[in-house]
Structure 1
Amino acid sequence: MVRRRPLLCQQNDPGSIRQKPREACLPVGRDRGVTNGSFYLSCARVNCMTDFKVQILTPDAILPAKDNPTDAGIDIFTNESYTLAPAERHLFTTGIAVEFSDGHVALLWDRSGLGSKGIHRLAGVIDSGYRGEWKVALVNLSDQPYEIKAGDKIIQCVLQKFEPVEITEVEALAESARAATGFGSSGR
């Protein structure tokens, strides 16, 4: 039997380098700890912490943040200014690289404020093994130019657990009540 050390997290005292078991950690919103020069955010639930380790790649990058400890989304900021013309898409830089646990995926979702103005993301899946700079593809679906400034929140990231998938080729699929219907076949 393999014995594992208890998972540790930084104490709430920013001047302390001592660690304590995660079970003893208080729920936090913007818990920031430093490990090997990288920052991390910890989820707010006690006994259920998933590290979100962030490496700052450029001096103008902003550490991702959560406004409320119970929010699912982690706000991601851009470090560049750019005006999106109507129907234009642009790949925004963030100046950060991120590490999180295997068995999780980072899903990028529109921020409601930008979405209501016609600004939407074009891609939204980041796998746990990716270690490059996070970039965010946005498109302007409105009929007006939209200015995004360095330091703006441009996307929200939700970490989600997923089940491993084994891909298997088969001759035929099992029958189902729905079969191959889709594209509005069940109503409008």
Structure 2
Amino acid sequence: MSVMVQFQWVEGADQSFGLPCYETAGAAGADLRANLPDGQSVTLEPGARALVPTGLRMAIPAGYEVQIRPRSGLALKHGVTLLNTPGTIDSDYRGPLGVIMVNLGEAPFEVTHGMRIAQMVVAAVVQPGFEVVASLDETARGAGGFGSTGQ
């Protein structure tokens, strides 16, 4: 079964970068690019965050979501990642797609027009029913939480 995500350019966006794309045949995420007004750049000082536009709007099929995830190279080399990760875009959202970037590094980081800033993964969504019960089934782990399974 083929899933199709439809895109529309935001008015004034630079369309020369094309749509998000998979950089390798086995890639799970399609790269998103910064699409900044008038080709400007955004400087993220250490600890700063910014909503970086992609110039895109999209229609995600019902029963799916798009997850926005960091790019590992930006995280490792510069300490730049995304807040609210993974970010979820619901199938009924039709507004502009922006990426919330944060600089956790020690030096200012410049986000340039056309830079690959994030990746998007399309995933199926299940909306289960919810109910209150008198007791839950027992498991070997039980209520063991953070760090309870060892190192």
For normalisation by structure 1, the TM-score amounts to 0.69
Please list, as runs of the form range in 1=range in 2, the aligned pairs for 1:2-81 lying within 5 A after superposition.
48-61=1-14, 62=17, 63-80=19-36, 81=41
RMSD: 1.6
Deviations 1:53-99 (A, max 9, x none): 11001333442222234322111111122111111111111111111
Tell me the equivalent position of 1:112: 72
- 1:173 aligned to 2:136? yes
Deviation at 1:174?
2.3
Q: Distance in 2 between matches of 1:130 and 1:151?
A: 24
CA distance in 2, matches of 1:49, 1:128: 16
Deviates more, 1:80-89 or 1:54-63: 54-63
Structure 1 CA distance, aligned partners of 2:6 and 2:142? 43
Residues in 1 aligned to 2:134 and 2:33: alpha-carbon distance in whole angstroms: 47
Distance 1:111 1:51 in 2: 23
Tell me the residue number matched to 1:184. 147
CA distance in structure 1 between the aligned counterparts of 2:148 and 2:26, rounded to whole angstroms = 38
Structure 2: distance between partners of 1:69 and 1:52 = 18
2:83 and 2:131 mapped to 1: Cα distance?
29
Structure 2 counterpart of 1:87, from 47, 51, 64: 47
Matched residues in 2 for 1:60 and 1:129: separation?
22
Aligned-partner Cα distance in 1 for 2:25–2:6 = 17
**Which one has a larger percent helix, Structure 1 or Structure 2?**
2
Bigger Cα Rg: 1
CA deviations on 1:109-135 (whole Å, 9 max, x unpaired) are: 111211112111112111111111111
> Are residues 1:122 and 2:78 paired?
no
> TM-score, length-normalised on structure 2?
0.85
Sequence identity of aligned pairs in percent? 35
Instruction: Report how many aligned residue pairs link the two structures.
Output: 141
Q: Distance in 2 between matches of 1:94 and 1:166?
A: 35
Cα distance in 1 between the residues matched to 2:50 and 2:12: 22
User: Which runs of 5 or more structure 2 residues have no equivalent in the other structure?
Assistant: none
Report the equivalent of 1:139: 102
